[in-house]
Structure 1
């Protein structure tokens, strides 16, 4: 009876509310019953282990399916929109990297994770990248070598574009199955976060709290800057008129709902309806909006770059300018492969962290931190991502009308 009531409550209550409750319960346990934290911390360890298990498969299958299901020679008339998506995501990554270098964040990680060797120069980083690319695909999956996983997923995806329709359908079904599994794992986030928060605050106290507050301020600040400064500048350069009426319309009618749904995919109907009210070209927005929910991920680029550099700063890894520029590109590419579920961008942080020689164990601890602050971070990230889909689609349509 009690279990049934609990199950009904979980089904009725949003994941955001559950995460907030888990965070507060974990904090209360750490402060009031510190002796109980070792037992509760096991839940956090279990949650992180589940993420570590599914993340490599998620990246491999989703990227391969996305490329494999694109029909060769298919005309989409999407070049202006795709260019805006690319420029916007890269600009967001640059903002995230710049802010992280100006206002470096450090995290409280397990002591065993502090002994990481920093790569020497950017040449060594690039050599490591090349070696990771040509790694055995099975070994890459087993060792969570995300650069190798990404390389093989792209190669196999291109090869499968010429496969039979039934094969490509099975590939898409596999991608949907993996996405469903990751949704199941993320539904356990409230319990996992309770264990993570209890263990972290019992050990580190207010030091960890300040680290999270600073990190969250950098993340939200970058997203606001992109939404209110960078994106309007890009729009102005394209349409040559005041961009803010369009920017505020997209933020109000798309960003607000996306903030609470925390899913770009779930916000697609909202964006399609908004595009129709804006009298945009239906042939353009009917393709651009769903595509943007998959690849236009400015908020994800910020999250990946900021959290990866936070890990580097925590471990005392010096980041020079060539490496920072490389991170901007990698964060942009990673963002395009971010999962459509809540917290999906966090699972791509290990790929960016691998540029600095940071182990998967440490990277997944950073992912855990991301889930702790994700109540606000992921909501703001999704709001930026989804509102930008409509903004750039409208910009491309307006530019076409002007031309």
Structure 2
């Protein structure tokens, strides 16, 4: 199906922001202020856009205009050179208004910095220059639950073939991360490729209940050729993985890094739902007239005040936990990016347990808050035009990405036996 006949939002609606945001922020505080500005724009019609479920070409243009796609990139190529802790908070801010776009920003920040974790020094520099100088948005066709894409070697190139039931943001991306296993080996290879090519065929079948603007449907990969020099972490002469990139604990940091991406957009969505509900309660919710202690305003109702206070306390605690884990991820990257082989398995395991704790708490609290807000807004808040349901639908959809029960088990083994988990595609 051609992208021309797929319903999409119009990038022109946000054209004014290209000039307004022509200069990039230069501090952590101003980057987060920029993220809040983006959220304010998205919040204006978020329920309507969720209902229409169009391919988010305009929203990606808005992210490009804002500069947020460059937030983590080196300054020498035009990036913001911020820490992951700032990136996580930016994801959270955008997700408060629109969970789908917060998720797309999070996945982009992960995929656009994948070379930092598994690439060679030359690949890191080349990848950053490519992405930042062109202000590219990066999607990913990396779904470990499917059979890996098959990779064959053909002279100076590798060739990807296969399919994925899910990819994120690919339809609206400039570059796509592919991952597969090299034929005859157990070696996994990541590579960034141009999205717009005949060998990448999107199914346009993302019709799920939540995160409707993430374009997370299926994709077929057919004879996509990639130069060996672009196989991240592999030596193009020997065609083998480099021990200083792929065969060390540092290379497995990709997984806790993205798991914390998930938790931060869950948290943003949950905070956004409480903010949205508070505005609705203040403006629309009526007091209950049959309680025996009748109030003139819903905002004086004891049970409403109690629920809001309890939700607020749990979200504030969850935010503190997420920030601590973000600081720890940032510290590992800061300490070991120049000497990746020095990161120990125990240090990697420790940060993975912090991230797992955040995942458990953001899932539990997020689902509780996004469903519970209906208790303090009233029956009329269930109308589709209100859009309060999208917050719950968004967290419910993505929190099934990998069962949180396994995170609880993992944390149980750590608490009881002090065992760190073996790194996997989900840990």
- The bucket for the TM-score relative to the shorter chain is under 0.3
Q: Computing the radius of gyration over CA atoms, which structure comes out larger, 1 or 2? A: 2
Structure with higher helix content = 1
Higher relative contact order (CA 8 A, sep 6+): 1
Structure with higher strand content = 2
